[in-house]
């Protein structure tokens, strides 16, 4: 009762003050948690693609002219007092702090606002680049000023996007050159961000598709980056092929596979016994991701007679996929072509799939048998609250990884294949948020030439698959 009387006496002024205070607090909280994004400009040329910080001076955006030119050609600088005398290849340009006119080969070039000297750096207004650079570089430039993306000469990557039916409902984005975007997912969309790729806008910035899973792709540019946002009705993931020139976006397997093959539900406890012991974990997650290490421009080791590790790992990964599928273990091959993938891309793709186990395949001519590695996670990094350091993302899963390695080792030993378990500072193991094991396949005792023999590949792949299947306790698992 007392509460209701007090509430009734609460004046509108107090309520307003309280509400305003709450809003103020929230705004402060948000602004403190998310510092403003640093402004940058991206420069694309046939020589180099790079980004530079943009500095605000008197309400205008500025960029360091020396840093901008340095990757493009031979730059030298002479200073006389505050006068800046800059040579780019054979072109001479003078800047005077406080002056909004530069002298290029003794000809005046308006900068719009004054040249600024700050901490030894000569800053020119970003808006002056379209006037200044064509004369300095001796060629055309195309500046997307609102997004601060500067294209020099004929630098540029075009792309097309269309829905393909193999795999079903996949959006295939083909680029005219290799790209290396960062990929992120949010509910209902997948975002590709191109910072160091000179991706150019398509004819229409919004592409719509008559697909059940993928509805549109929207192109946008901002702060030195281009973005392609793919909207979908289901969770999406991206994979690379064609040496990084093609990105396929498709529904995450969890959605499609649940229709085609019903996974066995997690085993239930019997007679009061625990479902799993730490040494033999049972996984509630569903897929196995098999990742053939290396690929594309990154060949890995040279094995025997000029055989590249990337080809051996791909052949073995495909063999392992077949062996797992025979045992009803659903599997996704992360690299199924000669594509170049960074370790970050591999980790990011795998983490989006939330696999039960991530298996990374390597090959070597050193020693015999198979070596199984779990991540060696350095303790030199710190997690901040709920945010895991990328380099330590594997830490909570290390015991699961070791359990998976143990199970595989048991099956290899049963097959009399020499096996050794170690920890390795091997990326992307430490970035994987699931049980993660690297498998280094070495030749049999009969000699290095048998490393790639079909019989040996089958033998090793079969044993590893049996170990993985045992973890699953699926029907048909085991031998």
Partner 1 sequence: MNPRQLVITVVILVAASLGMALYAWRMQKHARTTVPAAYSGSVAPPASGSTEQATLFVADDSSGELQPQQASIPLSEDRQQRAQQLVRALLNIYLDKNSSHPIAPGSDVRDAYLVDPGIAVIDMNSAFADGHRSGILVEDLTVASLVETVAQNIPGILRVKILVNGQERDTLAGHADLSILYDVPSVNQMVGPSPSPSQ
Give the nearest distance from C-beta 36 to partner 1 in angstroms: 10
> Smallest Cα–Cα separation from 411: which of 384, 382, 372?
372
CB-nearer residue toward partner 1: 21 or 108: 21
Give the nearest distance from C-beta 337 to partner 1 in angstroms: 19
Label residue 22 exposed, middle or buried (CB < 10 Å: 0-12, 13-18, 19+). exposed
Give the nearest distance from C-beta 434 to partner 1 in angstroms: 19
What is the rounded CA–CA span in Å between residue 368 and residue 398? Answer: 26
Given the structure tokens 């308006």, which residue do they identify?
Answer: 110
Own/partner long-range contacts of 118-124 (Cβ < 8 Å, ≥24 apart) = 118/55, 118/57, 121/64, 121/66, 121/67, 122/64, 122/65, 122/66, 122/77, 122/84, 122/86, 122/95, 123/55, 123/57, 123/62, 123/63, 123/64, 123/65, 124/62, 124/63, 124/65, 124/95
CB-nearer residue toward partner 1: 215 or 343: 343
What is the rounded CA–CA span in Å between residue 126 and residue 65? Answer: 10
Chain residues that interact with partner 1, rule: CB under 8 A: 3, 6-7, 9-10, 14, 18, 21-22, 24-26, 28-29, 31-33, 35, 294, 298, 300-302, 309, 362, 364-367, 371, 373, 376, 378-380, 391, 420, 422-427, 430, 438, 440
Helix residue spans in 278-393 (DSSP H): 309-326, 343-353
CB-nearer residue toward partner 1: 170 or 307: 307
Quickly count: other Cβ atoms within 10 Å of residue 52's Cβ. Answer: 18
CB-nearer residue toward partner 1: 213 or 400: 400
Encoded tokens for 228? 């392609």
Q: What is the largest CA-CA distance in the chain?
A: 92
Label residue 247 exposed, middle or buried (CB < 10 Å: 0-12, 13-18, 19+). buried
CB-nearer residue toward partner 1: 396 or 425: 425
Give the nearest distance from C-beta 237 to partner 1 in angstroms: 25
As a whole number of Å, the CA-based R_g of the chain is: 29
Give the nearest distance from C-beta 177 to partner 1 in angstroms: 23
Give the nearest distance from C-beta 288 to partner 1 in angstroms: 20
CB-nearer residue toward partner 1: 20 or 206: 20
What is the rounded CA–CA span in Å between residue 473 and residue 263? Answer: 11
Give the nearest distance from C-beta 168 to partner 1 in angstroms: 36
CB-nearer residue toward partner 1: 155 or 438: 438
Give the nearest distance from C-beta 356 to partner 1 in angstroms: 23
CB-nearer residue toward partner 1: 93 or 426: 426
């Amino acid at each position: 009762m007392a509460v209701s009387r007090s509430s009734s006496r609460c004046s509108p002024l107090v309520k307003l003050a309280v509400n305003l205070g709450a809003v103020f607090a929230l705004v402060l909280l948000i602004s403190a948690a998310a510092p403003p994004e640093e402004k940058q400009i991206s420069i694309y040329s046939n020589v180099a693609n790079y980004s530079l910080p943009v500095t605000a001076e008197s309400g205008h955006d500025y960029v360091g002219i020396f840093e901008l030119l340095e990757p493009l050609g031979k730059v030298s600088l002479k200073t006389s007092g505050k006068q800046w005398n800059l040579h780019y290849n054979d072109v001479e340009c003078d800047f005077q702090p406080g002056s909004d006119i530069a002298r290029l080969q003794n000809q005046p070039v308006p900068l719009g606002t004054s040249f600024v000297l700050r901490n030894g750096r000569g800053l020119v207004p970003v808006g002056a680049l379209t006037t200044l650079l064509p004369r300095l570089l001796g060629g055309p430039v195309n500046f997307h000023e609102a997004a601060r993306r500067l294209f020099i000469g004929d630098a540029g990557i075009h792309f097309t996007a269309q829905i393909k039916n193999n795999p079903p409902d996949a959006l295939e984005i083909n680029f005219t050159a290799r790209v290396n975007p960062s990929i992120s997912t949010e509910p209902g969309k997948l975002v590709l961000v191109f910072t160091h790729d000179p991706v150019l806008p398509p004819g229409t910035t919004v592409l719509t598709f008559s697909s059940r899973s993928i509805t549109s792709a929207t192109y946008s540019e901002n702060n030195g980056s281009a973005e392609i946002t793919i909207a979908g009705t289901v969770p999406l993931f991206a994979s690379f092929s064609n040496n990084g020139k093609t990105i396929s976006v498709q529904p995450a397997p969890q959605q499609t596979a649940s229709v085609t093959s019903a996974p066995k539900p997690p085993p239930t406890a019997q007679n009061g016994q625990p479902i799993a012991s730490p040494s033999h974990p049972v996984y509630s997650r569903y897929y196995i991701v098999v990742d053939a290490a290396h690929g594309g421009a990154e060949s890995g080791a040279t094995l025997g007679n000029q055989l590249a590790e990337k080809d051996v790992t791909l052949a073995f990964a495909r063999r392992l996929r077949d062996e797992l599928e025979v045992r009803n273990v659903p599997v996704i091959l992360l690299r199924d072509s000669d594509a170049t993938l960074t370790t970050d891309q591999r980790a990011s793709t795998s983490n989006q799939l939330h696999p039960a186990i991530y298996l990374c395949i390597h090959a070597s001519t050193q020693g015999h048998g198979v070596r199984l590695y779990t991540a060696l996670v350095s303790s030199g990094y710190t997690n901040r609250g709920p945010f895991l350091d990328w380099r330590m993302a594997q830490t909570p899963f290390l015991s699961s990884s070791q359990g998976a390695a143990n199970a595989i080792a048991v099956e290899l030993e049963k097959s009399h294949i020499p096996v050794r378990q170690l920890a390795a500072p091997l990326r992307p193991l430490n970035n994987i948020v699931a049980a993660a094991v690297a498998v280094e396949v070495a030749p049999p005792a009969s000699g290095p030439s048998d490393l790639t023999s079909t019989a040996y590949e089958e033998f090793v792949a079969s044993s590893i698959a049996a170990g993985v299947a045992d973890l699953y306790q699926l029907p048909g698992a085991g031998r």
